[in-house]
C-alpha cells in the first residue's frame, strides 16, 4: 500500500463556501446559516462573555482599537514562549446530535504565517494567517449531542500576535444526500453536505480536497479531490465509530466521476497506524457518475483494530466523489 508512514493531520481543509442559492422548487440549496450563538463576537464589549487562558510564558489577550476590522475594537491574541497556545473561548447553548455548525472569523496576522486553531466541541480546523484581514470559515459536523459546547479560538505559534474580529459560531441547515439517508451507514457526513466535517485530508505533496456544488452526486455538495504536482496521492479518511472484529463483512459504496476518466481511485478500510493496511475495493472511473459497491471481510490481524474508511486518488488530475457509505452486513 502507498499509505505507509503517513501521519494523518488532525485538521481538515475546505475552500470557501459557495454562497449561491438555488431557489427552484425541490432544488438542493446552499447551507443556510442561522444566528450567531456567541456573545460579543466582535469584541465591542471588550472581553465580556469570553474567557482567556494561556499556557505560554507572557501570552496575552487584549482588546484594542488597533485590532478592529469592523467596529471600534478587536482582539489581539498573543502567544508567548512555550506551551500549546493562547486561547479565548466561551460556552454556547447546547446543540443536538448530527448538527452542522458554521464557524467563521476575521483574522489578521501581525506578520503573516501565524497558526490559528478554531474549534467547537472538539471539531474544528487550523489556518495560517496572512498579513491582511481575511475571512476564514468552515462547516463542522457534530455527530453527538454533548455537554461540551465550548467555542475556542487559539494562537499556536510561539511569540506571535493574531488580530481577531467578528467571530461567529452558528448552526447551519444543510441538505441531506443519499449517504445521509442510507440505513446503517457508519460514515458521518458521507455526502459532504457539511463540507469536510468529520473527514481528515492527507496529500503526499500539494494536493487539495474541497467541496462544491459542481461535484454533487446527490444533495447540494460533493467532494473534489486533486492530486498535487509532486504526486504521492491525495486522500480523505474518516474513522469508523467502533473497532472492527475479525470475520465481519462490510459493504462499501461510493459515487465517483473523473475529470478525464481513467483516474486511479481506491476505497479502503484502513488501520490508523503502521503499516496502514486494510481491505480495499477497486474503483473504476469514467467521466460519468459511477456507483461502486462491494463487500470486504475483516481478517484476523485486524481484530479489535480501530479502522477508518478512506477514498484516495493516485493519478494526476481530479475526481469528484460523493455518497461514501460503509454498512456492516455481517454478523
Q: Which residues bind Ca ion (CB under 5 A)?
A: 177, 191-192, 216, 219, 222, 322
Give the integer Cα–Cα distance in Å for 267 and 62: 48
Q: Which is nearer to Ca ion, 41 or 177 (CB)?
A: 177
Would you say 316 and 232 are in contact if contact means Cβ atoms under 8 Å apart? Answer: no
The torsion angles phi and psi of 107, rounded to 5 degrees, stand at: -135, 145
Q: Measured between alpha carbons, how far is residue 163 from residues 106, 155, 321 in Å?
A: 8, 10, 36
Is the N-terminal amide bond of 142 cis, ω within 30° of 0? no
The cell for 188 is 458521518
Q: Which is nearer to Ca ion, 219 or 308 (CB)?
A: 219
Distance of closest approach, residue 283 Cβ to Ca ion, in angstroms: 17
Distance of closest approach, residue 40 Cβ to Ca ion, in angstroms: 35
The torsion angles phi and psi of 29, rounded to 5 degrees, stand at: -120, 160
Q: Measured between alpha carbons, how far is residue 124 from residues 5, 18, 119 in Å?
A: 24, 19, 4
Distance of closest approach, residue 221 Cβ to Ca ion, in angstroms: 5
Distance of closest approach, residue 222 Cβ to Ca ion, in angstroms: 5
Q: Which is nearer to Ca ion, 17 or 244 (CB)?
A: 17
Q: Shortest CA distance to 231 belongs to which of 205, 212, 196?
A: 205
Q: Which is nearer to Ca ion, 158 or 173 (CB)?
A: 173
Distance of closest approach, residue 119 Cβ to Ca ion, in angstroms: 24
Distance of closest approach, residue 194 Cβ to Ca ion, in angstroms: 10
Distance of closest approach, residue 183 Cβ to Ca ion, in angstroms: 17
Residue 287, number of CB atoms within 10 A of its CB: 12
Sign, CA dihedral 253-220-92-128, equals: positive
Q: Which is nearer to Ca ion, 63 or 221 (CB)?
A: 221
Q: Which is nearer to Ca ion, 192 or 250 (CB)?
A: 192
Q: Measured between alpha carbons, how far is residue 44 from residues 18, 66, 107, 136, 310 in Å?
A: 29, 13, 16, 20, 44
Q: Which is nearer to Ca ion, 115 or 216 (CB)?
A: 216
Amino acid at each position: 500500500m502507498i499509505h505507509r508512514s503517513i501521519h494523518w493531520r488532525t485538521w481538515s481543509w475546505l475552500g470557501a463556501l459557495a454562497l449561491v442559492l438555488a431557489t427552484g422548487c425541490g432544488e438542493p440549496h446552499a447551507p443556510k446559516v442561522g444566528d450567531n450563538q456567541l456573545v460579543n463576537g466582535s469584541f465591542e464589549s471588550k472581553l465580556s462573555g469570553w474567557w482567556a487562558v494561556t499556557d505560554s510564558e507572557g501570552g496575552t489577550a487584549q482588546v484594542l482599537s488597533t485590532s478592529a476590522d469592523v467596529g471600534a475594537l478587536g482582539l489581539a491574541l498573543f502567544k508567548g514562549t512555550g506551551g500549546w497556545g493562547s486561547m479565548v473561548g466561551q460556552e454556547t447553548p447546547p446543540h443536538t446530535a448530527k448538527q452542522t455548525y458554521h464557524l467563521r472569523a476575521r483574522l489578521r496576522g501581525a506578520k503573516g504565517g501565524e497558526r490559528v486553531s478554531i474549534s467547537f466541541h472538539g471539531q474544528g480546523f487550523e489556518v495560517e494567517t496572512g498579513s491582511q484581514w481575511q475571512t476564514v470559515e468552515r462547516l463542522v459536523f457534530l455527530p453527538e449531542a454533548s455537554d461540551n459546547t465550548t467555542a475556542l479560538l487559539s494562537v499556536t505559534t510561539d511569540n506571535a500576535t493574531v488580530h481577531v474580529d467578528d467571530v461567529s459560531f452558528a448552526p447551519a441547515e444543510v441538505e441531506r444526500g443519499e449517504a445521509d439517508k442510507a440505513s446503517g451507514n457508519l460514515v458521518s457526513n458521507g455526502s459532504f453536505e457539511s463540507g469536510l466535517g468529520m473527514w481528515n485530508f492527507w496529500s503526499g505533496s500539494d494536493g487539495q480536497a474541497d467541496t462544491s456544488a459542481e461535484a454533487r452526486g446527490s444533495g447540494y455538495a460533493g467532494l473534489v479531490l486533486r492530486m498535487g504536482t509532486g504526486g504521492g496521492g491525495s486522500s480523505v479518511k474518516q474513522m469508523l465509530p467502533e473497532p472492527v472484529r475479525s470475520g465481519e463483512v462490510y459493504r462499501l459504496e461510493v459515487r465517483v466521476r473523473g475529470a478525464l476518466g481513467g483516474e486511479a481511485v481506491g476505497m479502503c478500510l484502513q488501520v490508523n497506524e503502521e503499516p496502514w493496511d486494510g481491505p480495499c475495493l477497486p474503483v473504476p472511473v469514467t467521466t460519468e457518475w459511477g456507483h461502486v459497491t462491494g463487500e470486504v471481510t475483516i481478517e484476523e490481524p485486524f481484530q479489535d483494530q480501530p479502522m477508518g474508511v478512506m477514498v484516495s486518488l493516485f493519478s494526476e488530475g481530479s475526481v469528484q466523489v460523493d455518497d461514501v457509505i460503509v454498512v456492516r452486513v455481517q454478523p
